[in-house]
Amino acid sequence: MKALSYLFVIAVAALSFNLNADVAKPKSSSLAPLPAIWNSSSAQERLKAVRVAQLDAYRALLERVYGFQISSGTTLYDCALQSDQIHNQLNRLLKGAVELEKPEYNDKGMVTVVYGLKLRKIIDTLKEDKTFNTITISKAVQDKTIEALGCGALPDSMGMKMLRAKRAAELDAYRLMAERISGVMVNSETTIANMCLKNDRVQASLVAFLKGLKPTAINYTSDGSCAVTMQLKIREVVKTVETLVRIYNSDNKDKIENVKIATNDKIFTVTGHGAPRDNVIVAPSNDIYHSELTILRTVLKSEIIVE
């Protein structure tokens, strides 16, 4: 009788376990309608293109976050330079960015994704370091989401050439903007070029600030060429450079104590152009500012003055 009772208890327990089990079971579903070029590609090629787009979105988000101003003249990049802990925490935080839109495929073989990160999470991360725990940012700003677009493409497709054209257009726009801001006068004796040329840290931080800009327009023509438009408020650039010089130029030879921004809230707008190319030079993966920093240094050393 006891044995029978024991078996009954086991049977009830097993039945209860099966009823409560939450085991994932394979399910089949059909793909959403895709353009013909994607239907003719393999699943592996599609997944690889999406992964490239995700990594590109992460790179773009990193640039935007590092270029974000937390106060007048101070970017998140400057905070990361001053603290290894902040640098490492920001990197971990960015890897947790969420996908805001499902991948979008076009008929040229290009796929785009949009990733985002709440600014509040970044501010909370900064405040964990005692150096930055006095940061005050309005609730409305903290609730904003920083977004970034990532692009990928099938190999040997027009979409791949369009991606390369977009990158070339971005670098062209950056060069044009660097040329314009280099000649901006901060007072009667000093230009931005004078303040930036002497210190690598200042140059790298300015690159981070410029990379934090969000393009205002990205337009393609029928042949795959790309035009990227960017805007920049000059007052913010001058404030940023002024702060950087105070921090990193110990000799402080530049006369920045009497900064007078004659341009007020003037906005510079530039449009860079890029054409499809079969080959492209890729910057080292460990330095997302390599190409832009090279451009800025070239502009500064050439003493180009464009007002």
- Taking the CA atoms of residue 116, residue 282, residue 66 and residue 64 in that order, the dihedral angle to the nearest 10 degrees is -40
Q: 268 — phi, psi (to 5°)?
A: -90, 135
Summarised one tens digit per residue, pLDDT across range 67-94 is 777 666 667 777 777 777 777 777 777 7
What integer is the mean pLDDT of 101-114? Answer: 92
Summarised one tens digit per residue, pLDDT across range 263-301 is 556 888 999 999 987 655 444 444 556 788 888 888 887
What integer is the mean pLDDT of 103-111? Answer: 93
User: Is 4's pLDDT higher than 80?
Assistant: no
Please tell me the predicted confidence (pLDDT) of residue 244: 76
Structure tokens at 161: 């050439």
| Confidence band, pLDDT 50/70/90 cuts, at residue 134 | low
Please tell me the predicted confidence (pLDDT) of residue 98: 86
Please tell me the predicted confidence (pLDDT) of residue 307: 43
CB 260 within 8 A of CB 187: yes
